[in-house]
Structure formats: C-alpha cells, structure tokens
Structure 1
Amino acid sequence: MTQTYDKLVRDRIPVIIEENDERPVTHIADEGEYERRLAEKLDEEVTEFHESGESAELADVLEVVYALADSNGLTRAELERIRAEKADERGGFTDGVVLERVE
C-alpha cells in the first residue's frame, strides 16, 4: 500500500523502510528546498512536542535546530556561544517571568 509523506526525514529512515521490505522513493533536496523543509520540520517537531510533552520530541526539536544552524554555517559551539551571550545579556527563561504590560 502506497503512503505519501512529502517531508524531510532523518537520514536513516530510507534504510529502515527497506529493512521492513518496503521501497522508499526519495530525493535529495537542493539548498533552497532543504532550508524550507527544515523550517517545516521545526514546526512539525514543535507541534509534536506541544501535543505529547515527551522528551524524545524535545530532542527532535533540538536535532532540527542543529541542522538549521549547520545549514546556516554555525557550529553547535557557535550556536551555544550566541545562546549564552543572549542569556548573559537578557537572562534565560528559568524564573517564569510573564510580562503583562508596560505602563
């Protein structure tokens, strides 16, 4: 039975499909398509995390963030440095501060 997905998947998914005696039909995205599909994948993974709250889904979000960083020429270390600088300057989200309004 044919199922259509038309979405970016992890690199080993075609191998896993073949191991289940099925035939994946794939292509390699060019740079523009890859960027667009990574953005779509980020939305998908964030939605899945919202729905389930599972740590595995949060890890999937992080995997997509790392791929987006890489595709934009950033290493994980550079991304972490930028994150840490912003946290030092503006703080993180650990205190649960909700800004209601500015008067």
Structure 2
Amino acid sequence: MAYYNKLVRDKIPELLEQAGKKGTFRILGDQEFESELKKKLAEGVKEYRDTENEVDAAEELAGLFEILIALTKVHDLTLRELDEIRQEKAKKQGRFHERLFLIKVED
C-alpha cells in the first residue's frame, strides 16, 4: 500500500480501477483546495525544470496550464480576465521578448 496525500486529477479513480487498484479519496474544502493547488503548481514547475526534451517540456507546460486554470477559478476569475490582467501588466512592465538579464542596479 502506498500513501500519496496529494491532489490528483478527476479521472484518477477511474484509472486506478482500470488497473485493478482501489484508492481512498476525500473532497477538499475551498482553502485546502487552493493550498493543494499551490503545492501542485510548485511540483509542476519542478517537473518542468527537470525536463530534458521538448515533448516532456510541452507535457509539463500543459499540466501547469491546467493548474493555472483551476487557480483562476479559485480566485473567481475567467481566463479572459486573467489575460486582461496579464496584458495590463505587460503594458506597464513589458514582457520577456528581449531576454533581459539584470546584473545590478547602482544608486
């Protein structure tokens, strides 16, 4: 028996059953769900950083996007609203197109 104690995707119970296994689950409340999504985000970023090829990188980015979608809903935002906020921030601070790396700032 293995213990995971982590947020999983909705089809995991079905996939476990198909594999002849039985999982124990519970439904998270709002605050715990947000907390677990944040953990999942950090885990996904680490997994993305550890990728070694484009296929794996794309899959991890897709997973991160799924987590961002869930977090957007947690904060009562639509993807359109999130994108509007992103665009406003880009107008104020720019994007990452120039690949600028700040070395130091002198007073």
- TM-score, structure 1 as length reference: 0.94
Unaligned runs of 5+ in 1: none
- Offset of residue 69 of structure 1: 1.0
- Offset of residue 90 of structure 1: 1.2
Q: Secondary structure at the match of 2:50?
A: helix
Equivalent in the alignment of 1:4: 3
- Offset of residue 80 of structure 1: 0.7
- Offset of residue 12 of structure 1: 0.9
Equivalent in the alignment of 2:31: 32
Q: Secondary structure at the match of 1:52?
A: coil
**Which letter does structure 2 place at the counterpart of 1:61?**
L
Equivalent in the alignment of 2:66: 63
Equivalent in the alignment of 2:85: 82
- Offset of residue 66 of structure 1: 1.2
* Alignment deviations for residues 44-71 of structure 1 (CA, whole Å, 9 cap, x no partner): 0000000015110011111111111110
Equivalent in the alignment of 1:18: 17
- TM-score, structure 2 as length reference: 0.90
CA distance in 2, matches of 1:94, 1:59: 21
